[in-house]
Amino acid sequence: MSKAIVVVSFGTTYPETRRKTIEACEQAIQERFPAYPVYRAFTSNVVRRRIKKQEGLDIPTVKEVLDQLLEAGTEEVYIQPLHVILGSEYEKILTQAKEFESAFKKLVVAKPLLNSQEDYEAVKDILLERYGHEGQDAATVLMGHGSQHYAFTAYAALDHMLKGSSVYVGCVESYPPVELIEQELKKDGVREVHLAPFMLVAGDHATNDMSSDEEGSWYRFFKEQGYEVKAHLVGLGEYPEVQQLYIQHLEEIIE
């Protein structure tokens, strides 16, 4: 019986972080499941079009990969999203996969990074280990993407679980906003701010909205508030322990 794994992410137009994050996750998954061929798909059509124009690469959608696998006679397909929350991009995967429910003997979609309470606890521990040791009067502020989807509450929940530590989670497009995080830093006597993305990749948002000196960036915002600021362009997908969480979600649906 032929089986396959499809690893799905939003995608990024930045080749270097794509290699360090998305490709690293795919490789870790392939090593864990050597008997399963691993395929890539992106959910962002804008990213896919830009990559095609800039690099000449055709990155398929979930639907296109499933069409390809069906044609090849694959019988079991396991989809692992590399998304962070159960938001609109995750729902896009479910919608495209639903069309193929009866076409395969088995077609299952695993959960993104943050799903169960255990996931939140595990991610909290990873963040504290990676970012919670910057020293006295210092804090790390992680930039989440945020969402207009009701799943935006995931970011606030994680930030709440980190209360009392030197790690904070804010969002560039929803709640908690950076201004609210800054109020917390002021109360906690923080003088030095380390910025890092709470995103799979260190792509467009991390480069421009977080770490640039442009008007409206978090780097500029904290500088103007009088903090010493350092930016770290490391996507979550670079961390082996984050890759392992995705693998655990895949193990749950395969085994």
pLDDT tens-digit readout, 17-49: 999 999 999 999 999 999 999 999 999 999 999
Q: Domain containing 219 — which CATH number?
A: 3.40.50.1400
Number of structural domains found in the chain: 2
User: Nearest-CA neighbor of 143 among 225, 205, 204, 89?
Assistant: 205
Residues 177 and 224 in one domain: yes
Is residue 145 part of the annotated active site? The answer reads yes
Residues 144 and 179 in one domain: yes
Residues 75 and 155 in one domain: no
Residues 12 and 100 in one domain: yes
Residues 250 and 188 in one domain: no
Which parts are annotated binding residues for Co(2+)?
10, 145, 173, 205
Distance CA(98)–CA(115), nearest Å, equals 20
Contacts (Cβ under 8 Å, ≥6 apart) of 145? 84, 171, 172, 173, 198, 199, 205
Residue 71's Cβ-count burial label (10 Å; 0-12, 13-18, 19+) is exposed
Q: How many residues does the chain have?
A: 255
Residues 109 and 121 in one domain: no
Residues 140 and 63 in one domain: no
User: Which residues are bridge partners to 108 per DSSP?
Assistant: 78
Which parts are annotated binding residues?
10, 85-92, 145, 173, 200-201, 205
Residues 121 and 214 in one domain: yes
Residues 109 and 9 in one domain: yes
What tens digit of pLDDT does each residue of 170-197 get? 999 889 999 999 999 999 999 999 999 9
Q: Is the pLDDT of residue 1 over 80?
A: no
Residues 194 and 212 in one domain: yes
What tens digit of pLDDT does each residue of 111-136 get? 999 999 999 999 999 999 999 998 88
Domain that holds residue 177: 117-234
Residues 102 and 131 in one domain: no
Residues 106 and 12 in one domain: yes
Set 83, 145, 194, 249: catalytic member: 145
